[in-house]
Amino acid sequence: MGGQRRATPFEYWCVVATFVGFVILTILIRRYVFPAGSIESGLNIMAMFLLKFLCWFWFLLILTTTIRRLQDRNMTGWYTLIYLIVPWLGFVILGYMCSRKGTKGANKYGPEPVR
């Protein structure tokens, strides 16, 4: 498994769904387990640090999967900057771009992924 492996649409949407589920779970934990004003113990601070670290991990995972998905469509990974330039609309645009079929056969980013 190298860095040039292209991602299938199913793989992309599984990562996106997992990320969204994890963000929702983090919000619920923050709201109901650690409500505002309850950060008085070191354990609560450590738990919140762990949740934030895991959120960044999942963000990097979705970013790399998006790049690999774009490469399956024979597009450069620089299109992921749309996330930063136009956050909400960029997610919709990239979601549409990543939903479309990939390039048949090999392209400049590697062989066709097993579907």
Asked if 111 and 4 touch (Cβ cutoff 8 Å), the reply is no
Judge whether 48 lies within some domain.
yes
Instruction: Give the residue-averaged pLDDT of 54-68.
Output: 87
Q: Which domain holds residue 27?
A: 9-99
- How far apart are the C-alpha atoms of 75 and 81, rounded to whole Å? 13
Identify any residues that bridge with 54 across adjacent strands, giving them in sequence order.
Answer: none
- How far apart are the C-alpha atoms of 96 and 111, rounded to whole Å? 22
Instruction: Give the residue-averaged pLDDT of 53-57.
Output: 84
Judge whether 114 lies within some domain.
no
Judge whether 105 lies within some domain.
no
Judge whether 42 lies within some domain.
yes
pLDDT at 3 over 60: no
Residue 73: alpha-carbon gap to chain centroid: 17
Judge whether 67 lies within some domain.
yes
Residue 112 phi/psi, 5° resolution?
A: -65, 135
Judge whether 115 lies within some domain.
no
Domain total in the chain: 1
Higher pLDDT, 99 or 41: 99
Give the tens place of pLDDT for each residue, 67-94. 999 988 888 889 888 887 888 888 888 8
Q: Give pLDDT, residue 42.
A: 60
